[in-house]
Structure 1
Amino acid sequence: MTLYIWRHPKPLHAAGLCLGQTDVGVEQRKLRRLANQIQGFARRHRLPKEVWVSPLQRSRGVGTILAARGFRCNLAPALAEVNFGHWDGRPWQQIPRAEIDAWCERFADHAPGGGENLHQLFARVEGWLATLENQPQLAVGHAGWINAARLLAAGRGVPTQAGDWPRPVAYRALSVLTIPAALPAPVPPPPVSC
């Protein structure tokens, strides 16, 4: 299965923040620009007019625009960005250095801010990917989620060192992932429209 996943547009007022599942807005014109990009890509490549989005408005907003243009928009909570717990939405400068160091020392196992560790993120990503039908899929996601999916598609495991975590993909960038058929197949939840 091929997953075409775009990172959401740049959110408003997020510079310097630890941004995971905090729901921040995006300028409407940036949402439209990404929707235009996806619509044109789907048309050029004759892909289904169906898109998966996370519940966070920086992803969901693109899906809402596409739904108004005739796309089927599916809301997938499993597509949400990593959960940073009580760090989420706070400026990085306000997070105690000792807490960041503890995360880096046990990068795969430590849940930053009491949120979600990398093993949990990878399990969530892998579980959702396994529910998809074996046909091209379009999605709008988040940098941490996309990085986890890219590592899984490459057959790599959860990084144990912070230095092994890939740089985030650019806003509105497309990642094309070939997902192996060997992923476990949990029972898929019914799709929820945007």
Structure 2
Amino acid sequence: MILYIWRHPKPIATNGLCIGQTDIKVDRRKLKRLANKIQRFVRLHQLPKVIWVSPLQRSLKVGELLAQRGFQYQIAPELAEIDFGAWDGKFWAQIEKQHIDKWCNNFTDYAPDNGESLQQLFNRAESWLEKIAVEQKGHPVLVIGHAGWINAAKIIAAGQKVPNLAIDWPRSVTYLSLNRINISPK
């Protein structure tokens, strides 16, 4: 199965913030810009007008705009960004250095209070990818996602392990960028 996944538009006023599942607004023009890109891509490649979105408005709102243009959108909670728990929505500078150090040194399994670990994000992403691959029977799948989730999906598709150190985590994908990921059924 081929997964075409676009990263959502850049949210408003997030510089320096730890953003996972904090539901932050996006400028409507940026939402439309991504919807236009996706619509052109689907028309060019003659793909079905069905797209999966996370429940976070930076993804969901693009799906809603596409629905006004004849698309069907499906909301999948499994597509949400990693949950940073007590850190979510705070400035990185406000998070105690010792907690960030613990996270960086045990990147796979450390979870902020009331949050999820990277391993939990990977489990969630892998479970959804396996389920959707079976449901779609090899047909292409369109998604609007989040940087952490997209990186997790790329690592899973490459058959690699969850990084244990923060230094091994790939750079974030660019806002509005399209990522093509080949998912092999298990």
TM range (shorter): over 0.9
Cross-structure match for 1:65: 65
Using the alignment, how far apart are the partners of 1:144 and 1:112 within structure 2? Answer: 16
Cross-structure match for 1:190: none
* % identical equivalent positions: 57
Letter in 2 for 1:5: I
Number of residue pairs matched by the alignment? 182
Secondary structure of the equivalent of 2:175?
coil
- Deviation of 1:114 after TM superposition, in Å, equals 3.6
- Which aligned segments of 4 or more residues in structure 1 are displaced greater than 6 angstroms? none
Q: For each residue in 1:73-121, what CA deviation from the matched residue of structure 2 results, as whole angstroms up to 9, or x when unmatched?
A: 0000000000000000000000000000011111101013441101110
Structure 2: which 5+ residue stretches go unaligned? Answer: none
Using the alignment, how far apart are the partners of 1:154 and 1:175 within structure 2? Answer: 14
Using the alignment, how far apart are the partners of 1:122 and 1:10 within structure 2? Answer: 23
Letter in 1 for 2:127: G
Matched, 1:49 2:49: yes
Matched, 1:180 2:181: no
Cross-structure match for 1:120: 120
Secondary structure of the equivalent of 1:112?
coil
The alignment's C-alpha RMSD in Å is 0.7
Using the alignment, how far apart are the partners of 1:94 and 1:169 within structure 2? Answer: 25
Cross-structure match for 1:157: 161
Cross-structure match for 1:171: 175
Alpha-carbon contact 1:51-1:140 (below 8 Å) kept: yes
